[in-house]
Structures are given as C-alpha cells and as structure tokens.
Chains A and B, each alone.
Chain A
C-alpha cells in the first residue's frame, strides 16, 4: 500500500512562490503605509555609491592627476578662446546696430518688409581710413569698381549728410575727397532764407562761406546742398561779421564727426 506523504515538488515550489510573493507585497504595503520613505531611502542608500562612482567615472574624477591637469589647461585655453569669440560677437552686434541706425532702422527687432528693403541707388561702404590717419580730408572706403562705384559719386554720412565725392576708384577700394578739404568748393544754401553761397573747405570737416551782411544768418542755422536733393550739409557754428566789410564769414561743419566715421553711403546714379 502506497501512502502519499507529500505533494509534487513543482506544486510545492509554486505554492511557496505564491506565499513569498504575497508576503513581499503585504510587507511592502505595510511599510509604505507606516513609513512611506523607508523603502526608497533604503534602496537609494544602497545604490548611491554606485551612482556616485558612475558619475565620477563619467566626469573623469578617476583620471590621473596629469590627465586632469592637462584637461584643466585645455579648458583654460578654450575659455580664453571663447572670451575672444565673445568680444568678436559683441563687435558684430555693435556694427549691426550701427548699420541699422544708418539705414534708418532704429528698432533692431523690426522685420517689416519695408524696413528690410534695400535702398535703391545707395551702397553702404565701410570707412577703412579716415582723417587724421588719411591726410587731405580724405576717406578710403572698402568698395570700388567691383560694386559699380563711379567717379564723382556723392558720399553721405549717417543722417544723409553730404560730405564728399569719390575721386579715385580702384578695384575694391575708393578714395573719397571730403568737401571740407582745404580749397575745395561746393555750392550750398545757408539758413532758412536759403542764401546761396560757396562753401570753401578749411580742413578737418570745417567750412566757411561768405554771405552778404543782411543775410541774417545765425549760429545753429542749417546748411543744405544746393542741388535738388536738398541734403543736409552742415550746421552754422559761427558768424564772423565785420561792419567795414559788406560780407560776413559763416563758419559751419557737418553734424557728424568725420574723425569717427565708420560707415558711409555712396550714391549711384539713381540717388536723387
């Protein structure tokens, strides 16, 4: 007679697994209800050294001192290079603002179509050399025949102020003779009465003109181009009157400082 004393081992295992699983789940629920942060803190405490080690390996803390010193040196070099790059970026930003202002766009964020339209008949040029570096009240600009500049093209400073004309066109540069060059003459209209006069260059961006005594020209009056464009030419800085002389001398200068010019606008044939 066979008496069965035990169940199959497989069934025993299954039952044991079920008991253990149920026991673990009950323990977890109980622990979570009684001490909610117990299990996470236990497992995190166990795992933290491994995570720290992984982080250390990842960040190179376990490298040799020589390697760390080399890396430090490399990072310092990179930082210096980035600083230089940052300065270049700042210079470009400044140039951009200046160009926007020059083209009548004071708002750098403006993206309207009209504000982005190129101005017909106007070419922007960078001033490479300016007084006093260049003698004779002359500018050297960075565009020439390659941009279709022609001899005698009028040159305007920011604010549409007529300051000179091109006198020498080279391949990629041009020379601009300022109307304020000593001995240069240009016909202008002075004051609100628009008294016609001949401006004579005195050098350094300064002009003088002779007008009749009764012209009533005052300091601060505007001087404009005598052509149809009526472009601003300068502002009267002084009026020298001699009662014995039927003419008075008007001294004026453009409202921009020619020693600080960085950009100019070159008018082509379409500029009116």
Chain B
C-alpha cells in the first residue's frame, strides 16, 4: 500500500517535471498560448503549482519589464497570480 503511494508520488513528480520543462520551453520561445494551456493543466492536476507564477515572472522578465511598458510589462506575473487563485477556487468548488 505504502509502496503504491510512493510510486504514485514519484510518477506525479516526474510528470510535474516534464510539464515544467514544457512550460519553460514555451515561455523562453514566447509561445504564451501554449504556456497558458500547460500552466492551467499543471494548476489543475498538481498541488501548490507555484511554477505558474515563476512562468509568469520569467515571461515578463524576458519579454516585458521594460521601462516604457508600464503595468503591461507585468502582465505575465499579474495573470499568473490571478490564474493561480482562480484555479484554486475552482478546485475548491468542484472537489
């Protein structure tokens, strides 16, 4: 029983790492629609999916955060925080 739980945990961790790598590739290539889909999947299936915020910050750091852009330079960060909260609330409602 305990062994099964460990295997399940390891598998989840492995899948999470794979998903993180995919998100990282999408973010560094600027493929934001793909990144959004992937982070939504991650936020829905994994607990405490903090990678979503890292992805948002990374996206802004690479393509935003420029002096003249104002708040639009932080869209990725803001969006990721909002997304994390919304998915968390939805999960609470559904489950």
Q: Counting CB contacts under 8 A, is B61 at the interface? A: yes
Q: Counting CB contacts under 8 A, is B23 at the interface? A: no
* A43–B53 CB distance below 8 A: no
- Select one of B50, B53, B62 contacting A40, CB under 8 A: B62
Distance between Cα atoms of A44 and B80 in the complex (Å): 20
Q: Counting CB contacts under 8 A, is B88 at the interface? A: yes
Q: Counting CB contacts under 8 A, is B41 at the interface? A: no
Distance between Cα atoms of A14 and B90 in the complex (Å): 12
CB-based nearest B residue for A38: B61
Q: How far is the CB of A55 from chain B (nearest CB, A)?
A: 12
* B61–A17 CB distance below 8 A: no
Q: Counting CB contacts under 8 A, is A51 at the interface? A: yes
Please judge, given known A-B contacts A43-B61, A43-B62, whether A21 and B28 are in contact too, CB under 8 Å: no
Distance between Cα atoms of A32 and B29 in the complex (Å): 23
**What's the interface size class on A, roughly?**
20 to 34
Q: Counting CB contacts under 8 A, is A39 at the interface? A: yes
Q: Counting CB contacts under 8 A, is B57 at the interface? A: yes
Q: How far is the CB of B12 from chain A (nearest CB, A)?
A: 14
Q: Counting CB contacts under 8 A, is B5 at the interface? A: no
Please judge, given known A-B contacts A24-B53, A32-B65, whether A43 and B48 are in contact too, CB under 8 Å: no
* B48–A44 CB distance below 8 A: no
Complex interface bits, A54-65 against B, C-beta within 8 A gives 1, otherwise 0 = 100000000000
- Select one of A16, A28, A40 contacting B48, CB under 8 A: A16
* B28–A50 CB distance below 8 A: yes
Q: Counting CB contacts under 8 A, is A33 at the interface? A: no
Distance between Cα atoms of A10 and B48 in the complex (Å): 10
Q: Counting CB contacts under 8 A, is A134 at the interface? A: no
CB-based nearest B residue for A27: B57
**What's the interface size class on B, roughly?**
20 to 34
* B50–A21 CB distance below 8 A: yes
Q: Counting CB contacts under 8 A, is B40 at the interface? A: no
Chain B positions 23-55 with a Cβ under 8 Å from a chain A Cβ = 28-29, 47-48, 50, 53-54
- Select one of A13, A14, A20, A40 contacting B61, CB under 8 A: A40
* B62–A24 CB distance below 8 A: no
Q: How far is the CB of B59 from chain A (nearest CB, A)?
A: 9
* B85–A44 CB distance below 8 A: no
Residues of B within 8 A of A43 (CB): 57-58, 61-62
CB-based nearest A residue for B59: A43
Residues of A within 8 A of B19 (CB): none
Distance between Cα atoms of A51 and B25 in the complex (Å): 10
Residues of B within 8 A of A47 (CB): 28, 62
* A17–B50 CB distance below 8 A: yes
* A21–B77 CB distance below 8 A: no
* B92–A42 CB distance below 8 A: no
* B77–A25 CB distance below 8 A: yes
* B48–A17 CB distance below 8 A: yes
CB-based nearest A residue for B50: A20
Residues of A within 8 A of B77 (CB): 25, 28
* B92–A21 CB distance below 8 A: no
Extra contacts, 4 of them, besides A16-B48, A24-B53 (Cβ < 8 A), are A39-B65, A40-B65, A43-B58, A54-B29
B contact residues vs A (CB 8 Å cutoff): 28-29, 47-48, 50, 53-54, 57-58, 60-62, 65, 67, 74, 77, 81, 84-85, 88, 92
